[in-house]
Amino acid sequence: MTDKADVLIVTVTKVESQAVIKAFEQEANHQVTQKSICDRVYFDLGTVNGGRVFLTQSEMGSSGLNGSSQTVAKGIDALSPLAVIMVGIAFGISEDKQAIGDILVTEHLRTYELQRIGKQDNQPQINLRGDKPPASPSLLNLFKSFDLVWDGAEVRFGVVLTGEKLVDNIDFRDQLHSFEPEAIGGEMEGAGLYVACQDKKVDWILVKSICDWADGNKEQDRKNRQQTAAQNAAQFVLGALKFTDNDWQGKRGKGRQVIHNPELSKVMTDQEVVTPALAMARRTLAILEEQAAGFGKLQIPTHLTIELEEKRREVAELEARLRDGESNG
């Protein structure tokens, strides 16, 4: 039988993956098994409310080899899911109004890497130029409906910031919040999730729980906070999938017709998967170079120099992989 997922769950860290596996094993009394499909490992989480659920793990960030953009795109090609849910941990915005373990559900993502750096009143002025895509309406409705009967951690729906930076600086966090005052938190992989699913026309949503405040104190009680957050997010997603019957087969029949072909998937890995990741990396590099151009050659901040070097290396690696894929095709 060809493996197909009705729902593909995507995690990034070990604590996130373990929380999801534990939650689904306990619920379904099902031993999670691993499968290697088209050069990636997927975990079969079993069937929940008639829906087949799989898990895969991404590297940190959206761009780059095995970042969320590639991970999600490959997962869609391999398993033809009807929905992709990113589950895990995030940073909160307000320690006064939020709590560790609060669950953040995206109504919209706000990408912050694409920026315009200008001047106003002789002072630097930064304006965000990235997308603000909405999560899939059907999934958002499911999670909002389930929240009405959920008696676990506080659930907050709203705008989630997403970018390539691991934020642990309160000034930078507050700057991001000033760009998007409605933001309820932030994380690093949402942009790749959105880009891949938008390209493949698959429903998506991001559900992550607060594990820190991005204020320079990430290490404070880190293990316990991350475990609490990951468990809350995993349990909330599992509960939502159990909440109401989903006619997955009916949805599949009405949706796009996907022909699973391992050889085709291999070609798509080299071309269709790498291409959007390369485009994203090039756009980010252009923004970094624009920022660097605003400084004298000897005045470029060290952190910006490092980011430029890393992004140029990433672009070169993706370009090489794309060339290899085209020559092998």
Q: 83 - beta bridge partners?
A: 7, 203
pLDDT in tens, 165-184: 899 889 988 888 888 899 99
Does the pLDDT of residue 12 top 80, yes or no?
yes
Lowest-pLDDT range, 53-57, 113-117, 174-178? 113-117
Query: Residue 295 phi/psi, 5° resolution?
Result: -110, 160
Q: What is the pLDDT of residue 327?
A: 67
Q: What is the pLDDT of residue 261?
A: 47
pLDDT in tens, 239-253: 999 998 877 777 776
**Look-up of token digits 């795109």:** 73
Q: What is the pLDDT of residue 1?
A: 44
Q: What is the pLDDT of residue 284?
A: 76
* pTM for the structure as a whole: 0.76
CB 70, CB 277: distance < 8 Å: yes
Q: What's the rounded Cα separation, in Å, for the pair 99 and 91?
A: 10
Q: What is the pLDDT of residue 253?
A: 65
Domains in the chain: boundaries: 7-257
Average the pLDDT over 89-94 and give the result: 95
Q: What is the pLDDT of residue 27?
A: 83
CA 70 vs. chain centroid, Å, equals 11
DSSP 47-93: EETTEEEEEEEPPSSSSSTTSHHHHHHHHHHHH--SEEEEEEEEEES
Q: What is the pLDDT of residue 71?
A: 95
Domain 7-257 sits in CATH 3.40.50.1580 = yes
Does the pLDDT of residue 218 top 60, yes or no?
yes
Residue 187 or residue 247, greater confidence: 187
Does the pLDDT of residue 85 top 90, yes or no?
yes
Handedness of CA 182, 185, 188, 191 (dihedral sign): negative
